[in-house]
Structure 1
């Protein structure tokens, strides 16, 4: 990039610094992802320091690009519950009770630098020196940081350095990242480092977080469906066990926090996931169908299936919430909230989904988890339309 002295408003960056700007642009959807993928495979050391223009260009790209990205996500109109007024209305994202204010820390810049540059290392040494051996300190991060992490996992899902960062406890401890991306990325099988749980209670106390949950709802649904199909198709037992464990920890913590914050309506996103998965999940054996169970006792096999059926277990909890909503009377304080819940529940066919989930769990109780010879069914997620994000 270049500029003449008569054009002081044009930012000037070096060729090396340009990599950082191109990666930032790709994350917010205004750059060429395939071009950036080629850059990420190259080994090049980062500059010793970045110029002011490069830093300001990254800031400008993120601030403007993320606003445009969330605006696209907000276009679809849907029923939204306003806890401040106790009323619901058909709203687009920019009509939410509050709009998220995104703030960033130095973690975003550090992450983009690690993603954009890879200093050449002697043959035989660890290609990614921060992979699990150099854990980053766990701390709360602003929502802007969490949104950038999620976009990186979405944009470059198979990039090695992205997978390394996804396994960092710092990333797994962030509520937004953990909620919107249930797919777990592998840590080594012999790595038993405790994974910190996100503090959903503190996050839901922030109106900005609740607003982002509304805006990213469709993305969470799409990723939730993909996570169930990962457990269906994967041939690696460690992968599906890790994914199921993190799914259950995340959902339990998230639903607990929703209950405490009186925002049960935000848990209804699980019903569209179930509507796409349960019609093809003919038995508990649908989960883990491609796994090799040879050498496992029947009791161990049943325990594994019990671990994999995260979605049916979560639906049982939503069913209890629905039963409570039906008992709310006209003069009760929560009447309008219960009416909103019941309307959404009927629209999403909640009773049928909970009954199907209960039947799947009942099969587990009876021990009907023998080896399956049923061929896999087609994947509805592969033909479904992509999210607007």
Structure 2
């Protein structure tokens, strides 16, 4: 964390146990809550409570903030997948090892800037759901570590509807690519018919790409859990909004990954589909919890059900990547990257997964006749159906 990115502080304190004020104590507890090291119910209570803000905070409190940010962030990234002996592309060539083996130290060092501390001060002093003091951070002013922190903060507080509504008005969250990869349904505007995710191109360069390497396992688990929970969603509007946000985020992300030639950073999409589509599935797996007959128009009901299958619909793009990888020759520039993708596809039984995804999606196309199998259909189950899924479920 850069030491220049702090507000005015009191003179340095002598060595020994840190002495902090009540305000600073609350700020540190909120920070620990946002990083997953403090009970959520108590953390949200602090967020919803206003405390008189002092003119400055002590140097000891700033040191504790820096120490908590650095240790908790590294621990989170390590647990999320950085510890794995995995393989990722570097200069378009596969490089194996744990993150500290693959990436030089200067590219792994996390730097937190002024907006993080300003946010913690605002969060401690204000009732976020009834704030009278404006706060936001311009996306261009944030470092990769800042974006990761705001993603974790958003995830920690999104369970409170009032706080979530306040956070949705902040560019620090709504234009944050990591927020869109972990919680697209929550970060998108609830009444938007065409969600607008941020530009994902920066995620595939520099330290953001390193963070995304560490988050592959975390993202796989998050999306798998989200897909399996869709069957419990009873509200048609909520299902449609969440599905549309997921589809917009995944489509934009995969397009950016393809353009950056970093398909390895999209492996969580393939792995999540493989985890969910372990057998032949019908749309009821995703939409079985919807209550009532839904919207009066058949087109709206079908669109809601299509939206629920946002993740399986991405297998069409991944299937195209696999077909292209198969066409890369030994002397082509992308040969090793293509071999790496084909190995991942084979490990996850991509042909079978793609066939199951295609079959589930086509069940929601009542006007489509028998379809021609895709380029990878030979490896799996049924690819066509004529069932016009025009019922609510």
Query: Do Structure 1 and Structure 2 share a fold, with TM-score over 0.5?
Result: yes
- 2:335 alignment counterpart: 335
SS in structure 2 at match of 1:158: coil
CA contact (8 A) 2:89 2:262 kept: no
**What's the TM-score once normalised by structure 1's chain length?**
0.80
Q: How does 1:1-389 map to 2 (within 5 A)?
A: 7-33=14-40, 35-74=42-81, 76-84=83-91, 86-89=93-96, 91-98=97-104, 99-119=107-127, 127-129=129-131, 136=136, 138-140=138-140, 141-160=142-161, 162-170=163-171, 171-185=173-187, 187=189, 189=191, 192=192, 196-204=196-204, 206-279=205-278, 282-291=281-290, 292-366=292-366, 368-371=388-391
Alignment partner of 1:287: what SS? helix
Partners in 2 of 1:31 and 1:296 — Cα distance? 46
Q: What CA distance in whole angstroms lies between the structure 2 residues aligned with 1:348 and 1:150?
A: 29
Name structure 1 gaps, 5 residues minimum. Answer: 120-125, 374-389
CA distance in 1, matches of 2:29, 2:296: 49
Instruction: Give the direction of change, closer, same or farther, for the CA distance of 1:278–1:114 in structure 2 (3 Å limit).
Output: farther
SS at match of 1:333: coil
Assess, with a 3 A threshold, how the Cα gap between structure 1 residues 218 and 162 changes in structure 2: closer, same or farther: farther
SS of residue matched to 1:82:
strand
CA spacing shift, 1:235–1:116, aligned 2, 3 Å: farther
Q: Which moved more, 1:157-166 or 1:145-154?
A: 157-166
In 2: Cα distance, 1:329 partner to 1:107 partner: 48
Counterpart-to-counterpart distance in 2, 1:173 and 1:302: 30
SS of 1:306's equivalent in the other structure is helix
1:100 and 1:207 in contact (8 A); partners too: no
Residues 24-79 of structure 1 show CA distances to partners (whole Å, capped at 9, x for unaligned) of 23333444555534534544343343333322321221123222332333454343
> Is the contact made by 2:83 and 2:99 (CA closer than 8 Å) also made in structure 1?
yes
Deviation at 1:216, TM superposition (A): 1.0
Contact 1:74 1:94 in 2 (8 A): no
Q: d(CA) in 2 for partners of 1:164 and 1:318?
A: 34
Distance change in 2, residues 1:301/1:38 (3 Å):
closer
- Tell me how far apart the structure 2 counterparts of residues 162 and 143 of structure 1 sit (CA, whole Å): 24
- Shift, 1:311, TM fit: 1.1
Return the alpha-carbon distance in structure 1 between the equivalents of residues 156 and 241 of structure 2: 23
Scaled by the length of structure 2, the TM-score of the pair is 0.80
Instruction: State the shift of 1:241 in Å.
Output: 1.9
| Larger mean Cα displacement after TM superposition, 71-80 or 236-245 | 71-80
Q: Identify if the C-alpha distance between structure 1 residues 198 and 87 changes in structure 2 by more than 3 Å, giving closer, same or farther.
A: same
User: Is the 1:181–1:220 Cα contact (8 Å) retained in structure 2?
Assistant: no
1:21, distance to aligned residue in structure 2 (A): 1.0
> In terms of mean alpha carbon deviation, does 147-156 or 160-169 score higher?
160-169
Q: CA deviation at 1:325?
A: 0.6
Question: How much has 1:251 moved relative to structure 2?
Answer: 1.1
User: Equivalent residue of 2:364, what SS?
Assistant: helix
Distance (Å, rounded) in 1 between the aligned partners of 2:111 and 2:341: 32
Change beyond 3 A, Cα 1:21–1:169:
closer
CA RMSD in angstroms comes to 3.1
Q: Compared with structure 1, are the counterparts of its residues 100 and 166 closer, same or farther at alpha carbon in structure 2 (3 Å cutoff)?
A: farther
2:117 and 2:39 mapped to 1: Cα distance?
A: 20
Deviation of 1:277 (Å): 2.1
CA distance in 1, matches of 2:63, 2:250: 38
Give the equivalent residue in structure 2 for 1:386: none
Structure 1: distance between partners of 2:334 and 2:83: 27
* Distance in structure 2 (CA, Å) of the matches to 1:266 and 1:352: 21
